[in-house]
Amino acid sequence: MQHPTFNFVPGPSALYFTAEHHIQEAVRKGIPSISHRSEEFKNIYRHTDSQLRNLLNLPDNYQILFAASATEIWERIAQNLVLQKSGHVVNGAFSEKCLQTAKDYQLQTEEVRAAWGEVQLAQPGSFSDDVEVIHFTLNETSTGAQYPVENIYEIRKAYPEALISVDMVSAAPVLPIDFEQIDCAYFSVQKCFGLPAGLGVWLINDRSLDKFRKNKESGRLTGSYRRLDRIADSARKFQTQETPNVLNIYLLGKIAEDMNQRGIQAIRNDGIYKSVLLYETFRKHPALKPLVLEEKFRSGTVAYAQCEGGAKRFVEALAQKGLCIGTGYGKLKEDCFRIANFPTHSRELIEMLCDELLKIE
């Protein structure tokens, strides 16, 4: 298969532009073979932890834990943090899967549901008072719908006993959030961070840990090597319970460092510029319009368009020029396309893509 000049598929993403260098250097330095019980590994974890805290502006009462994937973290939240009931704001495939995971774990679930492409805001009163965790998806990758953080903070005030959990899989670190106003968040490394898949990052605060401890006392089964006290204890010593993906933990630290050097504000400003340009291009094109009709809910990291006459001609025409965009997700595949707007996609690249888009009839 001939490979595209550039990859705009929203995950796995094109590698961040410094990733290849770091991979080669990692192999040269023997990183894949170091012991995860060594000082060298602890230093790597420490470095990654410190760079991420800086990049995300993470409060001190948070811990950074590693898992295999965000998918796994849905499960670990259900196992560790919920005894009976979780609430879910559902408006696409990934928020749906998080809900399904809770059901698989035989939890009672409550929903605020919207059609794909829409955002239905949660309200005080949307959930029962005894809901234990309320799940939000900051950026629903399957529909290009971004959830307003102000509403998340409002719901947290309305449910002071509950934990607020935010799926930041295709949001972190680009879409800002105030971690002091939530309790738990997670992302994967193969989206905005532009790394090979194989690492999930779980951010939890002390309220989450306290809830876990209460759950544990109830005798409820809370898992094994991903039991929250076990991973949190290990993390405090910059260790993991199992042999982790050492290479990816190292690479994440390097990419986070590169992003810190660029400056998160600069990255976010670029993101806004590119996002505006992409939606403006959809507006100008007679056959395109954003899937998300309300402008304030349009994703700043995944630009999603509906295509009159179907998406195929756009995807194919761009592919012929070496520009590989994503098709719509699932049921949206025929009629929509998706363009990743991640830190690795430069302004110039997005400008070129937009120019090419406008040439297609």
CB 195 within 8 A of CB 219: no
- Give the nearest distance from C-beta 342 to its own copies in angstroms: 11
Question: Residue 87 or 244: which CB sits closer to its own copies?
Answer: 244
Specify the length of the chain in residues.
361
Token pair, residue 342, equals 């991640």
- The DSSP code sequence of 72-94 is HHHHHHHHHH-SSEEEEEE-SHH
Which residue of 112, 164, 247, 318 would you call a contact of its own copies, by CB under 8 A? 247
Is the Cβ of residue 70 or residue 256 nearer to its own copies in the bound state? 70
Residue that has been written with the tokens 């007679």 in this structure? 286
N- to C-terminal Cα separation, the chain: 26
Where do the DSSP E strands lie in the chain?
6-8, 62-67, 85-90, 108-113, 133-137, 139-140, 145-146, 163-167, 184-188, 200-205, 288-290, 302-307, 323-327, 336-340
Task: Calculate the CA 22 to chain-centre distance.
Answer: 22
Q: Does 11 sit near its own copies (CB under 8 A)?
A: yes
Considering only residues 47 through 106, tell me which ones interact with its own copies, judged by CB under 8 A.
Answer: 67-72, 74-75, 78, 100-101, 104-106
Q: Looking at beta carbons only, is 74 or 314 nearer to its own copies?
A: 74
Instruction: Give the binding-site size for its own copies (rule: CB under 8 A).
Output: 58
- Residue located via tokens 């995950």: 11
Ranges assigned E (strand) in 228-330: 288-290, 302-307, 323-327
CB of 35 to its own copies, least distance (A): 6
Asked if residue 235 binds its own copies (CB under 8 A), the reply is: no
Identify the CA nearest to 172 among candidates 206, 138, 149, 196: 138
- Out of 84, 123, 128, 224, the residue judged to bind its own copies by CB under 8 A: 224
Q: Which of 80, 126, 137, 248 binds its own copies (CB under 8 A)?
A: 248
To its own copies, the closest distance from the beta carbon of 101 in angstroms equals 5
Pick from 27, 115, 293, 358 the residue near its own copies by CB under 8 A: 27
CA dihedral (125, 175, 15, 310) positive or negative = positive
Q: Is 25 in the site for its own copies (CB under 8 A)?
A: no
Regarding 12 and contact with its own copies (CB under 8 A), the answer is yes
Q: Which of 6, 11, 343, 1 is nearest to 200 (CA)?
A: 11
Given candidates 218, 243, 265, 320, which one binds its own copies under the rule CB under 8 A? 243
Q: Which is nearer to its own copies, 4 or 310 (CB)?
A: 4
Minimum CB–partner distance for residue 169 and its own copies (Å): 9
Pick the closer one to its own copies by CB: 217 or 295: 217
Secondary structure in 3-state letters for 170-234: CCCCCCCCCHHHCCEEEEECCCCCCCCCCCEEEEEEHHHHHHHHHHHHCCCCCCCCCCHHHHHHH
Minimum CB distance to its own copies smaller for 10 or for 155 = 10
Instruction: Indicate which single residue of 137, 205, 245, 299 sits in contact with its own copies (rule: CB under 8 A).
Output: 245
11 SS3 class: coil
CA distance 316 to 247: 35
Binding mask 150-189 vs its own copies (x if CB under 8 A, - otherwise)? --------------------------------------x-
Site stretch for its own copies (CB under 8 A), options 203-211, 224-232, 256-264, 348-356: 224-232
Say how far apart CA 103 and CA 187 lie, in whole Å. 21
- If one asks whether residue 108 binds its own copies (CB under 8 A), the answer comes out as no
- What are the two backbone dihedrals, phi and then psi, of residue 145, each rounded to the nearest 5 degrees? -100, 125
| Residue 33 within binding range of its own copies, rule CB under 8 A | yes
Minimum CB distance to its own copies, residue 268 (Å): 23
Sole residue written with tokens 């319970």: 241
Nearer to its own copies, 23 or 192 (CB): 23
- What is the contact surface with its own copies in residues (CB under 8 A)? 1, 3, 7, 9, 11-15, 19-20, 23-24, 27, 29-36, 40, 67-72, 74-75, 78, 100-101, 104-106, 188, 190, 195-199, 221, 223-227, 241-248
